[in-house]
Amino acid sequence: MLEWLRQYCLSLPHATECIQWGESLVFKVAGKCFAIAALEPRQYILSLKCNPDTFAEWLERPGVAPAPYLARAKWIALENDNGLTHAELKALVRESYDLVYAKLPKRVKAELN
């Protein structure tokens, strides 16, 4: 999953990657995180920003939990990718990217474009 995730995230406009916190592959747009993937085995394999309107619904699904340290900002964490279809996972990543991009200041968006 990690290689697919990496390719998809980096295909999004202006997306970058870096390794942070020792063992996390972090994807960003304009320096703001939109996806955090575990490089080493951990409790959660992926954390993503979620639409506030669907946050509670996602938490009802098996294998989905509030993301440590980020739940108050409506981030979810996936224990594995077994409970999600490929389309759902792709949609979640894109939604996370779109939510983060939408919050960027107009000046930053203008610089990116």
Residue 90: both structure tokens together: 């792709």
Alpha carbon distances (Å) from 7 to 33, 53, 93 = 16, 28, 12
Q: Residues 61-100: pLDDT tens digits?
A: 999 999 999 999 999 999 987 778 889 999 999 999 999 9
* Residues contacting 41, CB < 8 A, separation 6+: none
How many domains, in total, are found in the chain? 1
Global pTM value? 0.92
Distance, in Å, from the CA atom of 38 to the CA atom of 46, rounded to the nearest integer, reads 6
Q: Using an 8 Å Cβ cutoff, are 34 and 96 in contact?
A: yes
Residue type, 31: G
What is the domain-level CATH number for residue 105? 3.90.1150.30
Q: Residues 15-35: pLDDT tens digits?
A: 999 999 888 999 999 999 999
Q: Using an 8 Å Cβ cutoff, are 32 and 67 in contact?
A: no
The range of the structural domain enclosing residue 78 comes to 2-112
